[in-house]
Amino acid sequence: MVPVRKPAGEEVQVTIASIQAERFDLCKPIGTELRGVQLSRLTSGEIQEVKDLVAERGVLFFRDQEMTLAEQVEVGRQLGELHTHPAASAPEGFPEVLVIHTDEKSRRTAGEGWHSDVSCDERPPALSMLRIETTPPVGGDTVFASMYTAYESLSEPFQQFLQQLSAVHSGAIYHDLYRGRTGDRQFPESVHPVVRTHPGSGKKALYVNSGFTRRIVGLSAQESSALLKLLFDHIAYLVKGQVRFHWEPNSVALWDNRCVQHHASWDYFPETRHGYRVTTLGERPFL
């Protein structure tokens, strides 16, 4: 039995199976912090409980997660088959790891702009686990948005319309983001449903994002552009479906790309922010 703090501060007792932790839901639709948990010490059964919870809550937060890179990769493997980023420069010996680093020499920061990780893949990522080791004195937060809430807040006729549509997700953005590292490589382009069903929760989620989604299949260019702008604005401005996380050294965020988008705030230049991400391979999106 672990305490859950309601928004008003009232604590109630609930059971999260065998994980002994303090659970704090940060807002009603999305975001839960689990305190007193060391991810690298969880059993396979407890890892499954974490996966079930993140499918429900979208993103989980953990503090004071001191672990080596090898331990982080091992936690990732327990979460699922690991995904290799198509344009990443990985640390030696860890091809599945994406280095997240921004400093005074950076021209951009990873994750700036609303997106779902690598949605251009035929089988896009499921879970992403980011551990930040070095944080700036101020700033550097990440905002997460629930795509369950984004979908559910639309009118029923509009939901039905969107369920009929598919969209093209393109990886061409990597040519600009990783200039000089990608050469002449061809990056994925895939067609996914505009609304997808989460295989764990069974809930429907909006699945277009401004980072990778380029056009709606079957619509004219004008219609596609107008519809995508409407959906991108809906996601960006739906504050009731968002939660903001302030990083501390050795904090971990674990989010589900099938039902969540995120946006990293680069408001700390020229300070340094540094960490590592491992990501699991998901299934092909389906309605």
Catalytic-role residue among 23, 83, 192, 277: 277
- Each residue of 22-41: pLDDT tens digit? 999 999 999 999 999 999 99
Ramachandran angles phi, psi of 168, nearest 5° = -90, 125
pTM, 2 dp: 0.89
Average pLDDT along the chain? 89
Report residue 57 as tokens. Answer: 């809550």
Query: Among 83, 117, 215, 273, which one carries the catalytic annotation?
Result: 117
Cα-based distances in Å from 141 to 100, 240, 257, 265, 277: 14, 18, 18, 6, 16
Adjacent-strand bridge partners of 216: 167
Give catalytic status of residue 123 as yes or no: no
- Among residues 83, 115, 263, 273, the one annotated as catalytic is 115
Task: Assess whether the previous peptide bond of 270 is cis (omega < 30° from 0).
Answer: yes
* Rounded-to-integer distance, Cα 6 and Cα 82, Å: 35
Determine whether 262 is an active site residue: yes
pLDDT band at 233 (very low <50, low <70, confident <90, very high): very high
Give the model's pLDDT for residue 1. Answer: 36
User: Is position 25 annotated as part of the catalytic site?
Assistant: no
Give all domains of the chain, ordered by start, each with its CATH number. 2-281 (3.60.130.10)
Is 70 exceeded by the pLDDT of residue 15?
Answer: no
- pLDDT tens, residue by residue, 235-281: 999 999 999 999 999 999 999 999 999 999 999 999 999 999 999 99
pLDDT in tens, 206-216: 999 999 999 99
Confidence class for position 192, pLDDT limits 50, 70, 90: very high
Of the two residues 4 and 217, the one the predictor is more confident about is 217
Can you tell me which residue has the tokens 């007792």? 13
* pLDDT tens column, 99-136: 998 889 887 777 788 999 999 999 999 999 999 999 99
Residue 5 annotated to the active site: no
